[in-house]
Structure 1
Amino acid sequence: MEPDGCLDSSLPGECPSSAVTQALSQILHHLTCQESRRNKARNAALDDLRVLIDSTECARLCGGDDPSSSPPVPAVLGQVAKALEKLASPPKEQEGRSDRHSGVAQKATEVGALFLQQLGKIEAAKNSFCPAWKTGLRHLAGPVYIFAVTHTLEQPWTNQRSREVAGKVLALLLKVSECGSVAGFLHGENEDEKGSFSLIMGLLKPDMNKESWKNNPATKYVFSWTLKQVTRPWLNQYLERVFPPSLLISDDYQTENKILGVHCLHHIVLNVPAADLLQYNRAQVLYHALFNHLYSPEYQLIQAVLLCLLDLFPILEKDLHWKGGIARPTTHCEEVLQLVLTHMEPEHRLLLRRTYARNLPAFVKRLGILTIRHLKRLERVIIGYLEVYDGPEEEARLKIMETLKLLLQYAWPRVSCRLVVLLKALLKLVCDVARDSSLTPELVKSSLLDEATDCLILLDHCSQGQVKSLLAKIPQSCDDSKVVKCISKVQQASKETSYAET
């Protein structure tokens, strides 16, 4: 394939823009054709493109020599860049196909070399003070960026070589764009400078609707990674572009996609002003989407959802003020806590138990005195989790005792009637840990005993010294030094407290 003699010219720089445009159009046709021998045609097209770029002056590729040509050379070159990006993208995922990504890394390496060549020409035009270099870059920047992100991240369709080439492409793109970071490239280095985020989202949009977003397995990662580069105060400008795709990904049946979508939504919650999220009921839509995920048995998803919800509650409950005289309305945080406690009681899977216990203290902190509404169920969950060994790290029991300490601080007027039940559970834990001969590290055992001691001291304060009197005879009849040491700390702390002042 010879692009109309342009490659055979003895003076390629003298080749008119119309001939370059025609040659690029032929190359574009061969890159996008669907004929049976397309691989051979595409390989020839890549070779011809490499020769054409090398033999054409940088100013001509940027359209600087003939800005009135139709279609402009940079526009056609941009279409070629889009075709190259599609050529190097991984194929649609198919069940039962383990080799679906074979050959993608090799294509990406070849395409990356072509992008480096094109960016090098634009850099040369820039260094030679050709004013058209910005036009050339504008048409290339979007496809080149999507290609670079697709193949820079470690994915099944990449290898070390393709990632290195993609990294070089991204670095050169930032250099030519005069941007110090990807974030600067996306939202602009200065306040009055428009970045490329809208351009990138516009290119991704056709592949981010309900019917097409799984056609290219890289699209969701490019969208997610790009979204997370843009933070306050820029992200709210693009909320309409990023909110629907994030909801779409999170609503998938695959856990991996659900988690990815929830992470995108969490980034939006953290970086978009509350007023924008409350507008058009977006925050409520987001809340209900996240709430439905709480019925999942996947602990990674539950962890991501709970973290996102905890940051969403202040936005949802921003305008809720109790005026007295009527019952205080149930908050969104309380609704989630009720469901979490319902799931925690019968849960026997350790990873889920740890996930729930890890986030429970944050809910108690958030609700404060309102945890009194959930005291009965919290009491059952706390006692149940204190009884169960949680593996060498004992994360669940440590977090449950952190929850208990917060509960004793916020709900202390209601604790005295639960004194005996909580005291028995804590003493049983102390005795179990003291006698524990498992592989639990001594540091973890020490932490458990310290936390239990702190809970006993707080319980004693809440009950006006009743714990001290109930524990008075234990040191005389117990020969376990760890248990005795724990009880002694509680008694010593009680002596130093004047309950008349509390």
Structure 2
Amino acid sequence: MEPHGPRESPGGPWEGSSLPGAWPSSALGQAFSQILHQFAGQESRRGKARNAALEDLAALLEAKECDRLFEGSDASLRGMPEMLGQVVKALGKYAAPAEEPEGRGDRHSEVAEKAAAVALLFLKLLRKVEAAKNSLVCPAWKTSLRPLAGPIYVFAVTHSLEQPWTSQRSQEVAGQVLALLLQVTDCGSVAGFLHGENEDEKGRFSAIMGLLKPELNKDSWKNNPATKYVFSWTLQKVTRPWLSQHLERILPPSLLISDDYQTENKILGVHCLHHIVLNVPAADLLQYNRAQVVYHALFNHLYTREHHLVQAVLLCLLDLFPVLEKALHWKGDGARPTTHCDEVLQLILTHMEPEHRLLLRRTYARNLAAFVKRLGILTVRHLKRLERVITGYLEVYDGPEEEARLKILETLKLLLQYTWPRVSCRLVVLLKALLKLICDVARDSSLTPECVKSALLEEATDCLILLDHCSSGRVKGLLAKIAHSCEDSQVGSCIRRVQQLSEGAPCDAT
């Protein structure tokens, strides 16, 4: 079947090719080179020329001559896989979303239409590979697939995820392309496709990172808005023990994305860094001071007021601390050195005291217990500021779910367990704060659900019991004076529970 006539330009169909050597000399090779030139040349920007090129390619893939594409035995077809790889890259670039000024999404529908048309062509091409794979006379199909798999994967991920430039149709067809690619390559999952299905098989992660590398430097990574998502999504699929060998490729782009001025990109970059921290051995992260670089990049984000970003950063830091502390050595002949966890907790407490934004207060309170648990007895270094934060947060109503106050009570319980020898001198302050909370909750007539009120009263009562243990029963003695005069049944119930459970308990709360 003959495609449309060639659309020559003065430079000829081979001008601008980056391939070494000569193109295939067959008529089939010349037809593909003409199509490649149409997408690479200036005329591809015109709608008619673009549509004609797609029609030419579709007709060419349906021709009987294309059944020999992956045979590998015909000398006239040498270099055809490389040429097809260039055609696939050109098609992916043609359907890629372009960066637009904020507030303009009028070209997104056009990108989705292009992607759907290109996906159908990729399905035809992959079916040719599958036919060659199932044929005993085509042993070279695997070698021929190598230059195609990476670009097709990048295209499929770009358009199968829900993004502004995708439509339901483009996502569906791109998903079919990815599924067929996995089927043709005998991979049961995307992870297997990337790192290899077994130890002897080399995965395609390096090749895909090589394709993305030119678009992941500081000057070009925003030219294609899909690149960061393809990188992040692909990175998340590769875990231990395969990820560490690619550290030099994946760490710089992750730091670059996290260092952007847009909060969305910062969060995406932090998620990439968190995945690296979780899946790369500590020894590799400590080498060349990489862990310190990641730490300082994350620490700088703690000055932001965006609660989603703060949440992502704190979770990443909590997993990074064990790595950083492997480099610290305490000889036991002096005070333990302050750690990165101390530094972060100090900054968090500084931000927590004056913070009035509810979402940020909840974020800080949600993660505070993990820091106390991480430091253990060393939390005594921050006890004075923790006392102020805890009593201050217990006073403020936090909405129907009361997330902040519940998390602060959880933190207080841990604090009493770890630092009990230093608690008795703070007995009066903590006792007043807990009793005030119990009275406020008991009198609360707002929309707070009863289950939340019950949880608050139970947690506060547990804190009173621990406080009594830490103070050698002094709480029980102070509460005895008000137990009989208390008119509120809920408050009285809490006090009686403290008196009953404190009897006979040891003063060592640990």
TM-score normalised according to structure 2 size: 0.94
Per-residue CA deviation, residues 369-409 of structure 1 (Å, 9 max, x unaligned), is 00000000000000000000001111100010110000000
Aligned to 1:302: 310
Match in the other structure for 2:124: 117
Measured in 2, the distance between the counterparts of 1:136 and 1:288 equals 45
1:169 to 177, 200, 212: 177
Change (3 A) 1:433 1:346: same
Task: Give the structure 1 partner of residue 93 of structure 2.
Answer: 86
1:66 Cα offset (Å): 2.1
1:290 is matched with 298
Contact 2:341 2:375 in 1 (8 A): yes
Candidates 399, 402, 405, aligned match of 2:407: 399
How far the C-alpha of 1:229 sits from its partner, in A, is 0.3
In structure 2, what is the Cα distance between the partners aligned to 1:471 and 1:352? 35
Displacement of 1:482 in angstroms is 0.3
Matches of 1:178 and 1:96, distance apart in 2: 43
Correspondence 1:106 to 2:110:
no
- Compute the displacement of 1:429 (Å): 0.1
* Amino acid in the other structure paired with 2:383: L
> 1:227 deviation in Å?
0.2
- Please state how far the C-alpha of 1:57 moved relative to its aligned partner: 4.0
| 1:128 alignment counterpart | 135
Residue 211 of structure 1 deviates from its aligned partner by 0.5
For residue 227 of structure 2, the aligned residue among 212, 219, 231 is 219
Q: How far apart in 2 are the matches of 1:78 and 1:501?
A: 68
Matches within 5 A, 1:372-411: 372-411=380-419
Amino acid at match of 1:2: H
Decide which of 1, 4, 17 is 1:2's aligned counterpart: 4
Deviation at 1:17, TM superposition (A): 5.8
Q: Deviations over 1:313-361 (max 9, x none)?
A: 0000013232233332110000000000000000000000000000000
Structure 1 residue 135, shift from structure 2 partner: 2.1
The alpha-carbon deviation at position 61 of structure 1 amounts to 1.6
Q: Does 1:420 align with 2:428?
A: yes
2:104 aligned partner, one-letter code = R
Q: Is this contact kept in 1: 2:472–2:507, CA < 8 A?
A: yes
The CA distance in 2 between the partners of 1:248 and 1:41, in whole Å, is: 38
Residue number among 236, 248, 264 corresponding to 2:256 in the alignment: 248
Distance 1:371 1:285 in 2: 26
Distance 1:464 1:58 in 2: 87
Q: Structure 1, residues 273-297: CA drift from partner, whole Å, max 9, x if none?
A: 0011011110000000000000000
Partner of 1:153: 161
Amino acid aligned to 1:308 = C
One-letter identity of the residue aligned with 1:276: D
Matching residue's letter, 1:85: G
Q: Residue 21 in 1 paired to residue 29 in 2?
A: yes
- Counterpart secondary structure, 2:105: coil
Equivalent residue for 2:12?
Answer: none
The count of aligned residue pairs is: 491
Structure 2: which 5+ residue stretches go unaligned?
8-23
Map of 1:356 onto structure 2: 364
- In the alignment, the residues of structure 1 paired with residue 90 and residue 478 of structure 2 have an alpha-carbon distance, to the nearest angstrom, of 79
Alignment of 1:25-104 (within 5 A): 25-35=33-43, 38-58=46-66, 60-62=68-70, 64-67=72-75, 69=77, 72-104=79-111
Q: Which residue of 1 aligns with 2:191?
A: 183
Q: Tell me which residue corresponds to 1:484.
A: 492
Hey, what's the Cα distance between the residues in 2 that align with 1:501 and 1:82? 65
Distance 1:201 1:46, change over 3 A: same
Q: Is the 8 A contact 1:142 1:196 kept in 2?
A: yes
- Mapped to 2, the partners of 1:45 and 1:169 lie a distance apart of 21
The alpha-carbon distance between structure 1 residues 453 and 94, as it changes in their structure 2 partners (threshold 3 A), is: same
Distance 1:281 1:247, change over 3 A: same
Q: Residues 498 and 254 from structure 1, CA distance in 2 versus in 1: closer, same or farther, beyond 3 angstroms?
A: closer
CA distance in 2, matches of 1:48, 1:296: 53
Q: Is 1:341 the equivalent of 2:340?
A: no
Q: Partners of 1:441 and 1:97 in 2: how far apart?
A: 44
% identical equivalent positions: 77
Instruction: Tell me which amino acid in the other structure corresponds to 2:470.
Output: C
Q: Is the 8 A contact 1:3 1:24 kept in 2?
A: no
Deviations 1:8-31 (A, max 9, x none): xxxxxxxx9621111111101111
Give the TM-score normalised by structure 1. Answer: 0.95
2:464 is aligned, of 434, 453, 456, to 456
Structure 1: gaps spanning 5 or more residues? 6-15
- In 2, the alpha carbon distance for the partners of 1:337 and 1:311 equals 14
Specify the alignment match of 1:429 in structure 2. 437
8 Å CA contact retained: 1:94, 1:100: no
Deviation, structure 1 residue 35: 3.4
For the residues of structure 1 that align with 2:161 and 2:98, how far apart are their CA atoms? 17
Counterpart of 2:20 in structure 1 is: none
- Inter-partner Cα distance in structure 1 for 2:431 and 2:509: 23
Give the residue type in structure 2 aligned to 1:487.
Answer: I
- CA-CA distance at 1:496 after TM superposition: 3.5
The alignment partner of 1:338 has SS state of helix
Q: Letter of the 1:439 partner, please give it.
A: L
Superposed CA offset, 1:76-114 (max 9, x none): 111000011111111113224231313111111100000
Q: 1:501 to 1:456 in 2, by over 3 A?
A: closer
Q: Deviations over 1:143-166 (max 9, x none)?
A: 110111011111111111111101
Query: Which structure 2 residues correspond to residues 219-238 of structure 1 after superposition, within 5 A?
Result: 219-238=227-246
Three-state SS of the structure 2 residue aligned to 1:477 is coil
Instruction: Report whether the alignment pairs 1:272 with 2:280.
Output: yes
Q: 31-40 or 112-121, which moves further after superposition? A: 31-40
Could you list the per-position Cα deviations for residues 175-211 of structure 1 after superposition, in whole angstroms to 9, with x for gaps in the alignment?
Answer: 0000000000000001010011011100001110000
SS of the residue corresponding to residue 109 of structure 2 reads coil
Q: For 1:231, what is the secondary structure of its paired residue?
A: coil
Secondary structure at 1:258's aligned position in 2? helix
> Does the CA contact (< 8 Å) of 2:400 and 2:449 recur in 1?
yes
User: What is the rounded CA distance, in whole Å, between the counterparts of 2:353 and 2:181 in structure 1?
Assistant: 54
